[in-house]
Structure 1
Amino acid sequence: MSTVWNDNTPIYRQLRDRVVAMILDGVLKQGDALPSVRQVAADFQINPITVSKAYQELVDENLVEKRRGLGMYVTEGARSALLKSEREHFLHEEWPPLAARLERMEIDLATLLKHAPKTTEGESR
């Protein structure tokens, strides 16, 4: 994780979002331990309370669980739940204005797919 913070969003929220991205990207898998609050606070030179607040949001969302004396762990099904909620958010919140912009610019699906990022095998993602 990089240590560049966005001034427009609270650090605890950005930290929470980074952990979510790590779960979605498969960096953190079901059952994996999250770094300790103290370790994250030291690594990023932030207040441990900030880290605790980020971790508590993840607990509240059932993405991680506290294990007394052991730390925080990614819960079973966390990635599936995140994929579902991220898809819903994209389709209902992000896609409509994007689709409207594409329509205004008269960009059709074929053109959009032609310019889509390629995978390492040369196929569209």
Structure 2
Amino acid sequence: MNNWNETQPIFVQIRERLTDMIISGSVNEGEALPSVRQIATDLSVNPLTVTKAYQSLVDLGVIEKRRGLGMFVADGAQNQLLAHEREAFLKNEWPRIVKQIKALGLDIEDLMRHETE
């Protein structure tokens, strides 16, 4: 059973799982990814939802379709995804975090002290 985040489309959540697999190295560059049908069965979702997640990664150029063989992690995918995720974090998440840090009156020393706890 999956605990889906109701505020985010399922295909985005599947894409995030695939991204995490590539960034963490649990699937290396040049290796095959699980088939659309396998993921759809494992997650109890429509295969079209999985296809949409895969297509978004194909559009980024981090996975490639090999006709008759499936989906494979492209060369350079890990570094490309890291760069993409960093950029997305800095654009989408960081401004909100900075705003909250300022609102709470925290400074770098407070943050660093709590990082090591």
- Per the normalisation by structure 2, the TM-score is 0.89
After TM superposition, the runs of 4+ consecutive aligned structure 1 residues lying more than 6 A away are none
Question: Quick one: structure 1 residues 117 and 38, their matched pair in 2 at CA, closer, same or farther if it must change by over 3 Å?
Answer: farther
SS in 1 for 2:83: helix
For 1:92 and 1:34, the matched residues in 2 are separated by: 29
Unaligned runs of 5+ in 1: 119-125
After superposition, give the CA deviation of every residue in 1:29-83 in whole Å (9 maximum; x if it has no partner).
Answer: 2112110111111111111111111111111111100111111001111111111
Aligned CA-pair RMSD: 1.7
Unaligned runs of 5+ in 2: none
Relative to structure 2, which stretch is displaced further, 65-74 or 48-57? 48-57
SS in 1 for 2:93: helix
After superposition, give the CA deviation of every residue in 1:6-40 in whole Å (9 maximum; x if it has no partner).
Answer: 22222112111110121122222211211011111
Question: Quick one: structure 1 residues 116 and 6, their matched pair in 2 at CA, closer, same or farther if it must change by over 3 Å?
Answer: same
Matches for 1:1-125 after TM superposition, within 5 Å: 3-116=2-115
The structure with the largest helix share of the pair is 2
For 2:3 and 2:45, the matched residues in 1 are separated by: 12
SS in 1 for 2:57: helix
For 1:53 and 1:100, the matched residues in 2 are separated by: 34
Q: Work out which structure has the larger RCO, using CA pairs closer than 8 Å and 6 or more positions apart in sequence.
A: 2
Q: Report the identity percentage.
A: 47
SS in 1 for 2:115: coil
Question: Quick one: structure 1 residues 56 and 99, their matched pair in 2 at CA, closer, same or farther if it must change by over 3 Å?
Answer: same
For 2:47 and 2:92, the matched residues in 1 are separated by: 33
Relative to structure 2, which stretch is displaced further, 14-23 or 86-95? 86-95
For 2:24 and 2:116, the matched residues in 1 are separated by: 17
For 1:70 and 1:36, the matched residues in 2 are separated by: 9
